[in-house]
Amino acid sequence: MCGIFGTISKSNKSFNKRAFCTMGVRNDSRGGDSCGVFIDGLVEYGVDKQKLFLNFFRDSLLLDTTTECQVALGHCRKASVGKVSLETAQPVVLYNEAGEVDYVLIHNGTIYNYKELAEKYIPDVTIDGLTDSQVMARIFYHKGYDALDEYNGGAVFIIHDYRINRSFIFKGESKKYTYSKDTEEERPLYFCWHNGRFCFSSIFETLYAFYYEETVYTLSSNNLFTIKGDKLKIVKEYPRANAYQSKPTQIVTTHYGAGPRVYDDYDDWYGY
């Protein structure tokens, strides 16, 4: 498992460093191997002595100098595929030939059949040394999102595609085993709307405490969402009927009398 957190807005908003860093430190409990932040085209990673966000954020020049932003993404990695290094830390950032950021992705979960998916969708792309998250980013970048219906494992993805200036959100649900009858949430994701921002975290309590005046939601599963204005729109449904989680996934969240509502204030809106 990993921890993801951040805020996304359509225009520059003041950056709440206290809220962002508190979410990062809280998500250390889901990571522990490396961490990283992406803010409006700039990225920094923490490994070794700075592998915990707790130790990383005080020395981060990017966090220290940001006063306004549109896209601020954070990641606390628990390594499951690939080595622990700066090269495998997240967020995953893809650049165009001019050296500009084209695509950024953060992933909570593990994709077990990523090599098979790469062979199907991007056979001409070299994936040696890449993690499952880095491979999935390249599949989405080059071929779109149909692989969301085919991966085995677990996933929550938060994506911003700078080529079309649009964000995408996905939370998977599937059978635990091939023989299971019922489906289960693969990984957690909670969010709220605050002053024109989409604010999200893998951990409910941080959002509930920092944005106590807002309603905290959990995302409905197996829909690829995009942000349009102050609502989520469904781009496409991915039933994941033939997908499964090859290892048991148990998510326990204590809400101490409070819990997220299932978000239903979205419209079916197919297409980019």
pLDDT level of residue 80 (50, 70, 90 thresholds): confident
Q: In this structure, what token pair is assigned to residue 197?
A: 């921002």
**Burial environment of residue 96 by CB neighbours within 10 A (0 to 12, 13 to 18, 19 or more):** exposed
pLDDT at 83: 74
User: What would the two tokens of residue 42 be?
Assistant: 């700039």
* Confidence at residue 84, expressed as pLDDT on a 0 to 100 scale: 77
> For 91-108, what is the mean pLDDT?
97
Give the contacts of 242 (CB within 8 A, at least 6 positions apart).
150
Dihedral Cα 77, 81, 85, 90, nearest 10 deg? -40
pTM score: 0.90
State the Cα–Cα distance between residues 73 and 94, nearest whole angstrom.
15
pLDDT digits (tens, 9 = 90+) for 188-230: 999 999 999 999 999 999 999 999 999 999 999 999 999 998 8
pLDDT bin (cut points 50, 70, 90) of residue 247 is low
Q: DSSP secondary structure string, 217-258? A: EEPPTTEEEEEETTEEEEEEE---TT-B-SS--------TT-
pLDDT score for 250: 45
Residue 268: band (very low, low, confident or very high) from pLDDT cuts 50, 70, 90: low
How much of the chain exceeds pLDDT 90, in percent? Answer: 83
Q: Name the average pLDDT for the chain.
A: 91
Other C-beta atoms lying within 10 Å of the C-beta of residue 206: 22
pLDDT above 80 for 81: no
Which tens digits make up the pLDDT trace of 103-120?
Answer: 999 999 999 999 999 999
**What is the distance between the alpha carbons of residues 155 and 147, in angstroms, rounded to a whole number?**
12
Predicted local confidence at residue 82, as pLDDT: 61
pLDDT for residue 251: 43
Q: Average pLDDT of 34-40?
A: 97
Provide the 3-class DSSP secondary structure of residue 56.
helix
Asked if residue 3 has pLDDT above 80, the reply is yes
| Segment 76-95 mean pLDDT | 87
Find the length of the chain. Answer: 272
In the structure encoding, which two tokens stand for residue 31, read together? Answer: 């990571």
* Cα dihedral 7, 10, 12, 13 in deg (nearest 10): -50
CA–CA distance, 123 with 118 (Å, rounded to integer): 6
Tell me which of 2 and 1 has the higher pLDDT.
Answer: 2
pLDDT for 272 equals: 42
8 A C-beta contact, residue 162 and residue 216: no
- Residue 269's pLDDT band, with cuts at 50, 70 and 90, is very low
pLDDT for 248 equals: 41
Q: What is the pLDDT of residue 266?
A: 60
Q: What is the mean pLDDT of residues 59-71?
A: 97
